[in-house]
Structure 1
């Protein structure tokens, strides 16, 4: 028997993916208990001077058996230590998804595969885990389902008959139209078929309410969540529960798109327009786009929900790739869209950025015992501190940015690299004691409102006071119990929340997004304003939205005034088509950084000419330029933009070009002479 096992061990080698930035996989001698069905299992292997957990991609014959003449000899391979059999193999469709993501986003296959697996399942010597216990179920009776609106009924009549095949559907519903109820009805139908559902949300602070609604509606159904605030051990259990089919509903942020689900029947992407679905480190994938590809691969429907769809999704509707489904009215019987008002501040005297009319609106809300939200998308006290004598400003010592004034802890803080120092008592350059904050953030607005309304209960909600999900839940409970009169908040409050007592939304400081260098800024500003406006008047009390602006005639504000999202998207797509911007072109970008900008620009200029332009006439490579924030965390940064009307042509170019940059090693990011670090991003959101 022993000899038989030894012979078996000699017969096989393992093709293993390792979490490393290399476009190759690695071969190892197979352990004695290996069988061809072990593809998809995790395996402990020696790597470099240490040990790693890899994923078995293939079980292949060794040379010498007459079937693999080009295979390495046994004495050329290191032996794998052990195959981990505590979980079923990763499904073939899951491996295909990860490999597609690696190929499209120009990442190493091992990075894509292994980073999709929870950290606790990637340790060579993991702490002893408890047996996978049954996913907790909340034992209570399911609540009565609310009556459907005519729009919800029409959408479900369209979608329900198409649950057994692929379709891409854009659920375009105004704020408060009941998109979540449509999701729940679809989930119910998919669960009745014995299948699993993947529900993606853009941010962690949107998961508690949605998770509560799902578990309340389906009290006997195993539901798991996957996001960065789930503990390592819990994430491993939830991932395993999805893999084994025990978890029927998975709710998660962007990384959850890689959750293995053998009985997947439906994918839902809530707030599909949100840029948080884009990963900005490592493999820079877009979870929304991968979810659509995954649905097509699995032959299941995908529903993309939004009150402000992305221009890319709107273009897919126009081209026929997506089907558009509308929810044109609010779900609450007495709720209507809020009345919009633009306050032209060009001839107004403002008090800390607040007009007399806006303050009067807040006073009326207090008198009516209704909640109001003052929205300013800038945290801190003021964007910059300056000296009135010599003009010194609080620049960051490590970034090409200002350090923001934070009054509560009396610090100057860079919101990009985290550099922090105490607020100086006098000017560091000239000694002048008259230092003044310029501009305003949430802290300064909060301070001003407390002076105007000393009797009001004012609550500030931003990343400085709600850094974790638990902190947010405490604040949310205060708002829902109506222990708050006036909210001062950033984009954390702009989307996904339903506060019935909130009737007024006042917006200040929005004009900065109209003329930003980023050509996506208007899209983000419009979505942000429509979303925050949608927080008002969601129940039986009418809502009002007041936007202070110096550009009331701007087309963006005029579309906002009419609640006309389709008109704005059509304008935006027309402008992009004329300029040759996505979705009418494909883009990729190489970003590089070093201590000296000249080294960065020299590197980018050198790699720009590695492939003759005539070999790829459809790909245009721009000149290397410094990035808008040229210095970040003490390093100088520049970029090289590539553009093509053909996505295939751009991918073909990248496949030839990137190995030449990395001297044939197939790396999609790495180091270069001069202390340069570089990386590539496909479909960048910022150029």
Structure 2
């Protein structure tokens, strides 16, 4: 009797055996209904075997094998096995996570065909610059695997390079996967792709799609009906039978790293998948990650550069540093920035005031006794949202109404301290009563439809001053935007995380790049108390290469990535003592002593030590050798799984962590 080896969506590093009356090797990759516990689950057949490690009479019979889809292909399983092994995740979690929700349900909804939309009129491609033409010629979808890093300044036309390469791949009968870090970047990019390739079959895959739409688009990619897939990080696992090119836009963005479940990097998986299939992968960014830049400098990636803006009338914006030690501030805004905004209003141009802190104020506090609005569930403050009269935690979502008096001493004179985008918007409206001010953050824009409406207002000239967070920092082209003012940039300069300067530089360069993208000249004003910091000198000079060289030198001296390879063991429990004791036990396991090339650090509380009523600790494992670390982790993980731990303690291993 055949035995089905089935992967289930469980955090267990094992497959489950079931007997079946009839099955063959052709059934590998099909979904199957199987009994599990007192209920039933949907799994994926990974192997059809003739025997089992368990007595056949002890195995439960499998249920119905679903044949509404062709089997998942072998290259999909190879990709999932790599991700499972590298990121220390259960194979079942990887496989099932890659499927849309409707295909994992025991009671799938009725599937309806999508209504055919009106095709947009075709758009004539623009003339390429010499640099763009060289970049397009350097990537050949017919030449096998190559990994290329496209480093182009903001406005240099990286998207046009992507579109030309997509055209080359389509001409060869291939499919293309285009990854973007955030859903907010998909509408504008999807519009350009559809307009350029109106009959190519373009679908998007991201979490904001309704379940039926996501399954429909996934099926179109899997069947080969869709030639272009535009998606966020999970789309990297989408099976595509004729995949011939992978493009990762804004490859530096931390949104490509999954932070729960299987903690993988979609950018790194993209490179592995391209190598596995023998196809080119292109990573694009104005501010590449230091890991990718080091790979390019070491010739592992081919470096393609765009030094000038694609629009011959556009130039890089002038960047000026405002020393706030010597300039008076009004609600955090300096007089030179106020004057610059006024000048743009008089010329009918747009301004962006960037503050990466939403809400009205970071905290509500009592000056009499020192009480502050702290979250009861997290080691964080509740942020004041004055518009809807709420105090809200941006980490766990806990919220409640604004108290009328101090909860400790009863003082009614409690004040907001610091400022967020809501407070900044209110103050700017007082300063410029005739201006049309538009706030763009996750409180004001919560859905794709709202985002598209906001973009339409900006492009239509219905906003004079934009107040925004990082939602506006990258990927957007506003021709009338000529001024960017940046507030609150100093907090990241002295963070404990070694990646903080890299993230700050990328953020500053990306948001600065929104200014002057057409024939109008752009200007960027950065307020800081540290005008002599070398990071700001690099921003003023638009010198990514110089900044990256300095950062890589510091990383090499300190033994930080990319010159070391890391994995983080994290534990969370109701009591910090339990989490730390578990981590200490993991560090003392005999398996640790057998790997001299792996260094285990002492366990410490996480920076956000308490989240959603759980105390969190972490333990860093580090090695100068990636193979040595990868050889150690499976043995360590298996030994950790055998440790006795409190029932409510949860743990996981994150490979190549970005957060500390």
2:71 aligns to what? Answer: 89
| Aligned-partner SS, 1:81 | coil
1:334 aligns with 2:323: no
> In the aligned structure 2, how far is the partner of 1:316 from the partner of 1:137?
42
> In the aligned structure 1, how far is the partner of 2:612 from the partner of 2:181?
27
1:66 aligns to what? Answer: none
| Aligned-partner SS, 1:672 | coil
Question: TM-score if structure 2 supplies the norm length?
Answer: 0.98
Alignment counterpart, residue 126 of structure 1, candidates 108, 115, 121: 108
Alignment counterpart, residue 461 of structure 2, candidates 482, 492, 499: 482
**Alignment map for 1:535-684 (pairs within 5 Å):** 535-611=514-590, 613-663=592-642, 672-673=645-646, 675-684=648-657
1:312 aligns with 2:282: no
> In the aligned structure 1, how far is the partner of 2:642 from the partner of 2:612?
28
Alignment counterpart, residue 39 of structure 1, candidates 18, 23, 28: 28
| Contact 1:382–1:406 (8 Å) recurs in 2 | yes
| Aligned-partner SS, 1:45 | strand
| Aligned-partner SS, 1:643 | strand
Q: CA deviation at 1:30?
A: 2.3
- The alpha-carbon distance between structure 1 residues 596 and 530, as it changes in their structure 2 partners (threshold 3 A), is same
Q: CA deviation at 1:74?
A: 3.3
- The alpha-carbon distance between structure 1 residues 163 and 171, as it changes in their structure 2 partners (threshold 3 A), is farther
2:15 aligns to what? Answer: 25
| Aligned-partner SS, 2:96 | helix
- The alpha-carbon distance between structure 1 residues 659 and 539, as it changes in their structure 2 partners (threshold 3 A), is same
1:404 aligns with 2:386: no
Q: CA deviation at 1:280?
A: 0.5
2:44 aligns to what? Answer: 55
| Aligned-partner SS, 1:261 | coil
What residue ranges of structure 2 are gaps of 5+ in the alignment? none
| Aligned-partner SS, 2:173 | coil
1:151 aligns to what? Answer: 131
> In the aligned structure 2, how far is the partner of 1:123 from the partner of 1:87?
14
Q: For each residue in 1:67-109, what CA deviation from the matched residue of structure 2 results, as whole angstroms up to 9, or x when unmatched? A: xxx6544322211111111111111001110111011000000
1:204 aligns to what? Answer: 183
1:388 aligns to what? Answer: 367
Question: TM-score if structure 1 supplies the norm length?
Answer: 0.94
1:181 aligns with 2:160: yes
Alignment counterpart, residue 57 of structure 2, candidates 75, 99, 122: 75
1:13 aligns to what? Answer: 3
Moved over 4 A (4+): 70-73, 133-138
| Contact 2:373–2:382 (8 Å) recurs in 1 | yes
| Aligned-partner SS, 2:305 | strand
> In the aligned structure 1, how far is the partner of 2:75 from the partner of 2:440?
41
2:275 aligns to what? Answer: 296
| Contact 1:381–1:441 (8 Å) recurs in 2 | yes
Q: For each residue in 1:226-259, what CA deviation from the matched residue of structure 2 results, as whole angstroms up to 9, or x when unmatched? A: 0001111111111111111111100000000000
Q: For each residue in 1:576-631, what CA deviation from the matched residue of structure 2 results, as whole angstroms up to 9, or x when unmatched? A: 11111111111111111111111111111111101254411111111111111111
| Contact 1:88–1:243 (8 Å) recurs in 2 | no
1:112 aligns with 2:94: yes
1:224 aligns to what? Answer: 203
| Contact 1:142–1:218 (8 Å) recurs in 2 | yes
> In the aligned structure 1, how far is the partner of 2:459 from the partner of 2:79?
41
Q: CA deviation at 1:135?
A: 8.7
Q: For each residue in 1:539-571, what CA deviation from the matched residue of structure 2 results, as whole angstroms up to 9, or x when unmatched? A: 010100000011111010000000001111111
> In the aligned structure 2, how far is the partner of 1:114 from the partner of 1:487?
41
Q: CA deviation at 1:672?
A: 2.5
| Contact 2:591–2:636 (8 Å) recurs in 1 | no
Q: For each residue in 1:278-307, what CA deviation from the matched residue of structure 2 results, as whole angstroms up to 9, or x when unmatched? A: 000100000000000000000000000000
> In the aligned structure 2, how far is the partner of 1:134 from the partner of 1:465?
30
> In the aligned structure 1, how far is the partner of 2:592 from the partner of 2:636?
11
Q: CA deviation at 1:163?
A: 3.6
**Alignment map for 1:319-468 (pairs within 5 Å):** 319-468=298-447
| Contact 2:123–2:196 (8 Å) recurs in 1 | yes
Q: CA deviation at 1:129?
A: 2.4
Q: CA deviation at 1:412?
A: 1.3
> In the aligned structure 2, how far is the partner of 1:464 from the partner of 1:298?
42
| Contact 1:137–1:223 (8 Å) recurs in 2 | no
- The alpha-carbon distance between structure 1 residues 383 and 71, as it changes in their structure 2 partners (threshold 3 A), is closer
Please provide the CA RMSD for this pair. Answer: 1.4
Q: For each residue in 1:389-429, what CA deviation from the matched residue of structure 2 results, as whole angstroms up to 9, or x when unmatched? A: 11111111111111111111122111111121222221111
> In the aligned structure 1, how far is the partner of 2:254 from the partner of 2:323?
30
**Alignment map for 1:156-305 (pairs within 5 Å):** 156-160=136-140, 163-305=142-284
Q: CA deviation at 1:461?
A: 0.4
